[in-house]
Chain A
Amino acid sequence: MQVTLKIFRYNPEVDKKWHYETYDLDVDEKERILDLLELVKGHHDGTLSFRRSCAHGVCGSDAMRINGRNMLACKTLVRDVGDKITVEPLLGLKVIKDLIVDMEPFFDNYKKVLPYFINESPLPADGKERLQSPEQRARFDETTKCILCAACTTSCPSFWASDDYLGPAALVTAHRFIFDSRDEAASERLHIVSETSGLARCHTVFNCTMACPREIQITKAIGELKMATLTGKVD
């Protein structure tokens, strides 16, 4: 099928201002947007820049705006977005070149919630693992699926307004550890996420939930964090 692919372009070494370039391509409807970008880079313009790695929806490198919605280019098929396709970088982060954005503010916020397992207690008597029941594991199963693609955080109006807001991805990570029965830093993390730039800045817009390529119920997870600060229950 014939596809018109419009791509946001910006090269800081050449361009004073960003612009769009349009490519007419003959592609199969089952091809992915990532395939189209590779086609343009390989056959039309080798200077086109974008991030990619696994190309199978696991690494989260190729999140971008496709027809106005945050998606992974490797998981989005041409037939799902039509024959007029516009590809732009994620909103709310500075564009470095073309579709590549500066992810530092995103990862700075991610680091603030202590995104690692904390347990200073001695190991169990058998010296092996810290066990938990299937129910305890299921409590935070949803939020373990995050791949840090930033599709959620960069679809959030509160993050657009100010990148000091922790953002959905960091809050999802906080949820993953706070509700883990083996972790011992729930209180520390709850204090971090309840600061001015944390939970209270979530206006329940649901953009994050709609944008998540892993279909994590992000707004629900943030709601559970809010309830945890009120009730103290982290089961």
Chain B
Amino acid sequence: MATTKSRTLPLTKRGLNFEMFMWMITRLTALAMYGLILIAVIGALIMGARTQMNLADVMRWAFMPNVTHVQDTNVPDLAPWSTPFWKLTASALLLVATAHGVHGLVVICDDYIVSSRGRQIVRWISIAFMLTMMSIGAYLIWTS
């Protein structure tokens, strides 16, 4: 008689390594970005983005908490963005977008760099780049 027992491999036996973990993270961060962007767009519309949508204004909305980022715009003072909620939203978007983008960059580099040492170097440079970008972004969000 055929065996019908369920076959589920334990965590350590299913090949779930760094590559596959990052593959999953890239998908999840993409989904998270959709949610965070939706929240930010709704917030911007509530605060007046419906009538102020030229390029400079959009840049201003995009970098919302940093009032010095784009100065040539008609968007007024963005004090409503300076609450902890919006700073946390902006920080979350920064973290997932950076992780998503940098891993995408690593994947593209893997198409062109085939030696394992070369790939290691690219990975470490990418991680350093990612952490630097995250730190600078978080600093701007929380100190502006």
Interface residues of A (CB under 8 A from B): 131-133, 136, 157-158, 161-162, 164, 181, 186-187, 190-196, 198-201, 203, 226, 228-235
Q: Is the interface of A mostly helix, strand, loop or mixed?
A: helix
Interface residues of B in 1-52 (CB under 8 A from A): 1-4, 6-11, 13-17, 19-20, 22-24
Q: Is the CB of B7 within 8 A of A194?
A: no
* Chain A to chain B contacts (Cβ below 8 Å), 25 pairs: A132-B2, A132-B3, A133-B2, A136-B4, A161-B110, A161-B114, A162-B110, A162-B114, A191-B13, A192-B15, A193-B15, A195-B19, A196-B110, A196-B119, A200-B22, A201-B110, A229-B14, A229-B20, A230-B16, A230-B24, A231-B8, A232-B10, A233-B9, A235-B7, A235-B8
Question: Chain A: which residue is nearest B23 at the CB level?
Answer: A200
Q: Is the CB of A194 within 8 A of B15?
A: yes
Interface residues of B (CB under 8 A from A): 1-4, 6-11, 13-17, 19-20, 22-24, 107, 110-112, 114, 116, 119
Q: Is the CB of A198 within 8 A of B24?
A: no
Name A196's contact: one of B3, B10, B19, B112 (CB within 8 Å): B19
Enumerate chain B residues within 8 angstroms of A193, measured Cβ to Cβ.
15
> In whole angstroms, what is the CA distance A132 to B16 when docked?
28
Question: Chain A: which residue is nearest B9 at the CB level?
Answer: A232
> In whole angstroms, what is the CA distance A195 to B92 when docked?
30
Q: Is the CB of A199 within 8 A of B23?
A: yes
Question: Taking A132-B3, A136-B2, A194-B20 as contacts, is the C-beta distance between A229 and B8 under 8 angstroms?
Answer: no
> In whole angstroms, what is the CA distance A162 to B108 when docked?
12
Q: Is the CB of B7 within 8 A of A181?
A: yes
Name A229's contact: one of B4, B15, B114 (CB within 8 Å): B15
Q: Is the CB of B110 within 8 A of A229?
A: no
Enumerate chain A residues within 8 angstroms of B112, measured Cβ to Cβ.
161
12 more contacts with CB within 8 A, not counting A164-B114, A181-B3, A199-B20, are A132-B2, A158-B111, A162-B110, A181-B2, A187-B15, A194-B15, A196-B110, A201-B110, A226-B23, A232-B9, A232-B13, A234-B7
Question: Taking A190-B9, A232-B13 as contacts, is the C-beta distance between A198 and B114 under 8 angstroms?
Answer: no
Name A191's contact: one of B8, B10, B11, B15 (CB within 8 Å): B15
Enumerate chain B residues within 8 angstroms of A194, measured Cβ to Cβ.
15-17, 19-20
Question: Chain B: which residue is nearest A183 at the CB level?
Answer: B7
Name A200's contact: one of B1, B7, B11, B19 (CB within 8 Å): B19
> In whole angstroms, what is the CA distance A157 to B111 when docked?
9
Q: Is the CB of A187 within 8 A of B14?
A: yes
Q: Is the CB of A235 within 8 A of B119?
A: no
What is the distance, in angstroms, from B79's C-beta to the closest C-beta of chain A?
A: 43
Enumerate chain A residues within 8 angstroms of B8, measured Cβ to Cβ.
231-235
Question: Chain A: which residue is nearest B12 at the CB level?
Answer: A187
Q: Is the CB of A230 within 8 A of B7?
A: no
Enumerate chain B residues within 8 angstroms of A228, measured Cβ to Cβ.
9, 14
> In whole angstroms, what is the CA distance A230 to B28 when docked?
13
> In whole angstroms, what is the CA distance A230 to B16 when docked?
6
Question: Chain A: which residue is nearest B111 at the CB level?
Answer: A161
Q: Is the CB of A232 within 8 A of B11?
A: yes
Question: Chain A: which residue is nearest B24 at the CB level?
Answer: A230
> In whole angstroms, what is the CA distance A168 to B122 when docked?
26
Question: Chain B: which residue is nearest A182 at the CB level?
Answer: B3
Q: Is the CB of B23 within 8 A of A187?
A: no
What is the distance, in angstroms, from B114's C-beta to the closest C-beta of chain A?
A: 4
